[in-house]
Structure 1
Amino acid sequence: MTFTQIHKEYDWNEIKSFIHSRTADDVAAVLNKETITETDFAVLLSPAAEKFLEPMAREASSITLRRFGRTIKIYAPIYTSNECTNSCVYCGFNRHNEIPRVTLTDAEILAEAKTIADMGIQHLLLVTGESPKVVSVSDLARTCDMLRDMFSSLSIEVFPMSTGEYTALRSSGADGLTIYQETYNRETYARVHPAGRKRNFEWRLETPDRGAEAGYRTVGIGALMGLEDFRTEEFFVGIHARYLMKQYWKTHVTVSFPRIRFAAGNFTPYELIKDKNLVQSMLALRLFLHDAGLVISTREPAGMREHLLPLGVTQMSAGSKTEPGGYNKEHDGKQFKVEDDRTVAEFCAMLRSKGYDPVMKDWDKNFLVRS
């Protein structure tokens, strides 16, 4: 059964009603259990569970220490183009926004990559807007070929592709895929994606499957927090991650918790996601899925990221720029505003001061079989 079929078996409003009607007794009962079920996960996302964040945090921290130790994997994004054919109302790259449109040349990409590598980063995330005519699959393959020997790991966050296209990029050195569904509510999805290829809900929903089928060693998912009721949204993120972990056991699944940040277009979130909302989402996910990687990017401010360290996070970006060419020359063509602007060195020093080991390399490209 595909996740699209699984998704159709759930009624959004019924799940939302169940989550919002749980009691403190329901939460206490779940926290006394050794194994957390899907229903228990929904209980941990309820408003009633907000009073139990401290015991949830203690258990989440214990699980993370057992599974991952005191390590934080460090990565950075490289944006090679902000050209986009979509009209996503929340995104700075929305084709209707009047921002500088930039697509880097090969020489400019190499210059950006060298700057990132010189900061000590060995895990790179290649990001573009969704404009296949401007940056095609063959263009991405060429970029991966250029960068594969500069970094130990190369992930992509680009437009959804077929399994065959993902396989081609894997042959060029890509070993990870990040793809956010944005929202798992079909009606909301249609509203916030009024035009462009991204309107196809199911094609995007099945993208992680195609990446895993292509042999990617990591697949990252998430929902953009602020487009819907976060409690219901994170429930669907959790069951999607569980499905992927069971279906593709050779692939490591990660979950991100991106809150909407300021971007061109001045989009106002439909729901304000408070710090405690983010914390609860992360804790509930960790208690539900012990082995999932949990990712917090530079969307979050420095202080918040430090507070999240002991709560289950395993991967963080550092020194990030969200505009093409931004590592060497900043401009207004950002996807969103970065909140934690510390350098990689400053961020890693903070981690060490708190007893964490910043992992700059946990994979080697030589493990990939070139085809």
Structure 2
Amino acid sequence: MNSVVSRSLVEKPFIDRDKLYGLLDAHEPSPVRLGELLDKALKLGGLELSEVAELLRVESSEGIRRIMEAARLVKQEIYGKRLVLFAPLYVANYCDNNCVYCGFRKANSSLNRVALNLGEVRQEVEALLRQGHKRLLMLMGESEKTTLDYFIETIRTAYSVRVGEQNIRRINVEIAPLTVEDFARLKKENIGTYACFQETYDPVAYKKFHPSGPKSDYEWRLLVMDRAMEGCIDDVGIGALFGLADYRFEVLALIEHARHLEAAFGCGPHTVSVPRLEPAEGAPLASRPPHPVSDEDFKKLVAVIRLALPYTGIILSTRESEELRNELFNYGVSQISAGSRTNPGAYDEDHPESGAQFSLGDHRSLEEVISCLIDQGYVPSFCTGCYRKGRVGADFMDLAKPGLIKAYCLPNALFTFAEYLGDFASQDVRARGMALIRRLAETEVPESRREKTLAELDSIAAGHRDVYF
């Protein structure tokens, strides 16, 4: 594998700007052709780049409705009624970059800069544990003031925190690109997925929006996942910040990136994130996106990604409104943040105010989000079983593509949800949640695991914790 990877690091970058824009320069497919594309997508084998471009060219309301319905069916077939929940934990907002859309940018002199000390990290994690969180995404800006050594210490601290019997079971990370050697160091810290977003895959736009700082190097960022996977990171998460360039181009580039990783490493990205540009204090461009993405186009792009990459998780943040998030759960999203804050120290009520990266659209607490998910028939999942059992990277995909992962995912989701209900939920949420768990355990869990699942749910009710297949 390493020889393949080494070649990929020196070859011409895999994003061909002219080719991707050229694929968008054609007519909308006919209703008959659209039907052929959707029939192929419903076979759960994904789509070719040119086929994705055809879907992105659909503009008619009826055509978009058909795309959304196909995405709903694919989402249901692969993910069922599970939605994985996590919380972002920002440990520092120092940054040496000048990304013109970001509140953390170096030129933002109005931002209150903070790098949490380990005691403050501990307080943040304690606050999140008391809410019921089990999965974290840890983040920080790119700065000489906050080194990889510092970040590793914050990870170790977060893992060490206990509140009664509660602890964080898995930490995913989103930090600036590293060398292969530094990724190997990060791997040793028991992390889950490493995420890093290209922001925009358009190299012309990228140069304009990233005028200075280490992030101004387009190719260094573009090849970050090659280095991460060469450094033995099993699961990686890619993404684009929609609003900087034509959203259709960005979707094609994400698909191209996924295909590149599949070809080079035998495994594509574990997740794709779809943040939209949102207002940020001290970053005027964030309030006037160069290529604004309407809610309708946003829903379409999520659906198209689900059809193109059926087994790749799609992450939706609290940038989006409660109403839009609730709708998108049906059409492709499989992981969501809940009760989020984007400024360091924000979960600890006694911590002084610090500057946020961007503004939020969904301000609900974790329990409010969970209550709403129950009403929609979704199982809020805090599962970390696959990470801890070693079902990661290519091994995970080998189970996912033939549908074998379902035997683990739904039971594990039910177990973690039952734990949450028993330890944190109000009486009303607990009653409605337990009714949902029992119904799904008896009707949706594969028969081969149903008896064991029901027995483990009884053990959780009796006080056992951290049960997973």
Q: TM-score, normalised by structure 1?
A: 0.92
Counterpart code for 2:38:
L
Q: State the match for 1:326 in structure 2.
A: 346
Deviations, residues 303-346 of structure 1 (Å, cap 9, x unaligned): 00001011011000001000010112473500000110100011
Does structure 1 residue 303 correspond to structure 2 residue 315?
no
Does structure 1 residue 31 correspond to structure 2 residue 53?
no
CA shift for structure 1 position 32: 4.1
CA shift for structure 1 position 28: 4.2
Q: State the match for 2:201 in structure 1.
A: 184
Q: State the match for 2:241 in structure 1.
A: 224
Distance in 2 separating the partners of 1:2 and 1:52 = 38
Counterpart code for 1:203:
W
CA shift for structure 1 position 51: 3.8
Q: State the match for 2:8 in structure 1.
A: 2
Q: TM-score, normalised by structure 2?
A: 0.74
Count of residues in Structure 1 that have an aligned counterpart in Structure 2: 366
> Are 2:15 and 2:256, in contact at CA under 8 Å, matched by a contact in 1?
no
CA shift for structure 1 position 361: 2.1
> Are 2:344 and 2:354, in contact at CA under 8 Å, matched by a contact in 1?
no
**SS of structure 1 residue aligned to 2:270:** strand
Q: State the match for 1:89 in structure 2.
A: 100
Q: State the match for 2:124 in structure 1.
A: 112
Q: State the match for 1:350 in structure 2.
A: 372
Q: 1:315 aligns with which of 335, 352, 356?
A: 335
The 3 A distance-change label for structure 1 pair 134 and 9 is closer
Q: State the match for 2:451 in structure 1.
A: none
Gaps of 5+ in 1: none
Q: State the match for 1:340 in structure 2.
A: 362
**SS of structure 2 residue aligned to 1:311:** coil
Find the structure with the greater CA-based Rg. 2
**SS of structure 2 residue aligned to 1:2:** helix
> Are 1:125 and 1:156, in contact at CA under 8 Å, matched by a contact in 2?
yes
Q: State the match for 1:359 in structure 2.
A: 381
CA shift for structure 1 position 140: 1.2
**SS of structure 2 residue aligned to 1:85:** coil
Does structure 1 residue 266 correspond to structure 2 residue 284?
yes
The 3 A distance-change label for structure 1 pair 28 and 5 is farther
More helix by share: 2
Q: State the match for 2:76 in structure 1.
A: 65
CA shift for structure 1 position 19: 1.5
Larger CA deviation: 78-87 vs 324-333 = 324-333
**SS of structure 2 residue aligned to 1:53:** helix
Q: State the match for 2:214 in structure 1.
A: 197
Larger CA deviation: 21-30 vs 188-197 = 21-30
**SS of structure 2 residue aligned to 1:56:** helix
CA shift for structure 1 position 55: 1.6
CA shift for structure 1 position 165: 0.8
Does structure 1 residue 126 correspond to structure 2 residue 138?
yes
Structure with higher RCO (Cα < 8 A, 6+ apart): 1
The 3 A distance-change label for structure 1 pair 29 and 66 is closer
Counterpart code for 1:30:
L
The 3 A distance-change label for structure 1 pair 76 and 197 is same
Counterpart code for 2:91:
T
Larger CA deviation: 143-152 vs 349-358 = 143-152
Q: State the match for 1:101 in structure 2.
A: 113
**SS of structure 2 residue aligned to 1:279:** helix
**SS of structure 1 residue aligned to 2:315:** strand
The 3 A distance-change label for structure 1 pair 313 and 364 is closer
> Are 1:216 and 1:251, in contact at CA under 8 Å, matched by a contact in 2?
no
The 3 A distance-change label for structure 1 pair 184 and 252 is closer
Larger CA deviation: 46-55 vs 165-174 = 46-55
**SS of structure 2 residue aligned to 1:74:** strand
The 3 A distance-change label for structure 1 pair 286 and 325 is same
Distance in 2 separating the partners of 1:186 and 1:90 = 16
CA shift for structure 1 position 15: 2.7
Q: State the match for 2:301 in structure 1.
A: 281
CA shift for structure 1 position 143: 1.4
Larger CA deviation: 330-339 vs 277-286 = 330-339
Q: 2:26 aligns with which of 6, 21, 30?
A: 21
> Are 1:178 and 1:219, in contact at CA under 8 Å, matched by a contact in 2?
yes
Q: Percent identity?
A: 29
Distance in 2 separating the partners of 1:209 and 1:293 = 19
